[in-house]
Amino acid sequence: MDDALEVEDLVMHFGPVRAVDGITLRIREGSVVALVGESGSGKSTVGRCVVRLLEPTGGTVRLGGADITHLNRRRLRPHRRNVSIVFQDPAGSLDPRLSVGDIVGEPLRLQQLRKGVQAKVAEALRRVGLRPEVAQRAPHELSGGQRQRVSIARALISEPRLLVADEPTSALDVSVQAAVLNLLADLQRDLGFACLFITHDLSAVEYLADEVAVMYLGQLVEQGPRGRIFGHPAHPYTQALLSAAPVPDPVEQRTRRPVLLGDDLPSAIDPPPGCRFHTRCPVAVDTCRTVVPEPRTIGEGGHQVACHLVNDDGTGPDVRTTQGA
């Protein structure tokens, strides 16, 4: 069977800004891949290319085997039902002039489906934990959490094979984040769609994702099965990210020291030569400043890393222990 999503050497430049600079990644049918990295690393741009809100500058995007990279609006239409996106900010992504029912049913109308729309809307609302009466309300009458549930209902009403969820909880009150995350996890399990889960919340990643892809300044530095990435992170940047994430165990939390990366993310207009991470990497050597590290497979399950200092068996420096003191 074709993968739900295949992205090959994806490039998205905005004038001089190299937002995405050669990303290769695939998502198997029904599995969840988390795309993590700091804000400004290009994660959202990847998501927007995948749902073709943006036309990539280079590379290919295949949905269920179909190349959609450069399709025009008309030829894209039959593929629209196969992929949906949920944005970070539900307030900004829901048209305030429409009722909730019209918003949720819109994807069906765009596919020229008219029969049974109302019943499907009611069912979609029920799935996300909202009562059918909500269909008559306006988005501004709902809470942030309810609005995000509406976005999710709209995204899933056409039963897509792939859902792109771009920081779906980070604009919500902390008190409702867990509920919305649980909802997404339940829906994914019940409906079986594949998911590109864009986030910087590593505890959510551990909970939801089958695989993890770590992005730095427009490129992937490491990807692989969740257990490998959390258990044996090989890239210094992944190690630093994980060192800063909260851990559930308070004793472990007290003994952990986050690796400080110092400077901000460099500009995507003029990324550092060699390894893009070398300006902040605690273990960089001379080679890192001039030679680009190519991604290499270092373990089972397609664990890949792009770093000169990681050995073929995945061993190498761990910035969580080499730094400090």
Binding region for ligand SF4 (CB under 6 A):
235-236, 275, 277-278, 281, 283-284, 288, 293, 307-309
Closer to ligand SF4 at the Cβ: 168 or 293? 293
Cβ neighbours, 10 Å, residue 289:
13
DSSP state of 10: E
Binder of residue 293, out of Mg ion, ligand SF4, none (CB less than 5 to 8 A by kind) = ligand SF4
Binding of residue 146 to Mg ion (CB under 5 A): no
Per-residue tokens: 156: 């899933």
Minimum separation from the CB atom of position 217 to ligand SF4 (A): 11
Q: Which stretch of DSSP H or E encloses residue 107?
A: helix 100-110
Binder of residue 44, out of ligand SF4, Mg ion, none (CB less than 5 to 8 A by kind) = Mg ion
Minimum separation from the CB atom of position 36 to Mg ion (A): 11
Residue type, 42: G
Minimum separation from the CB atom of position 241 to ligand SF4 (A): 12
Closer to ligand SF4 at the Cβ: 167 or 222? 222
Task: Give the Cα separation of 152 and 125 in Å (integer).
Answer: 9
Closer to ligand SF4 at the Cβ: 190 or 286? 286
Per-residue tokens: 101: 């029912």
CB burial of 159-175 (b: ≥16 within 10 Å; e: otherwise) equals ebbbbbbbbbbebbeee
**C-beta separation of 220 from 295 below 8 A:** yes
Closer to ligand SF4 at the Cβ: 48 or 235? 235
Minimum separation from the CB atom of position 265 to Mg ion (A): 12
Binder of residue 236, out of Mg ion, ligand SF4, none (CB less than 5 to 8 A by kind) = ligand SF4
**C-beta separation of 104 from 125 below 8 A:** yes
Task: Give the Cα separation of 95 and 323 in Å (integer).
Answer: 49
Minimum separation from the CB atom of position 170 to Mg ion (A): 9
For residues 34-93, which are near Mg ion according to CB under 5 A? 44
Minimum separation from the CB atom of position 286 to ligand SF4 (A): 9
For residues 5-44, which are near Mg ion according to CB under 5 A? 44
**C-beta separation of 20 from 69 below 8 A:** no
Give the N- to C-terminal CA distance of the chain in Å, as an integer. 51
Interface residue list for Mg ion (CB under 5 A): 44
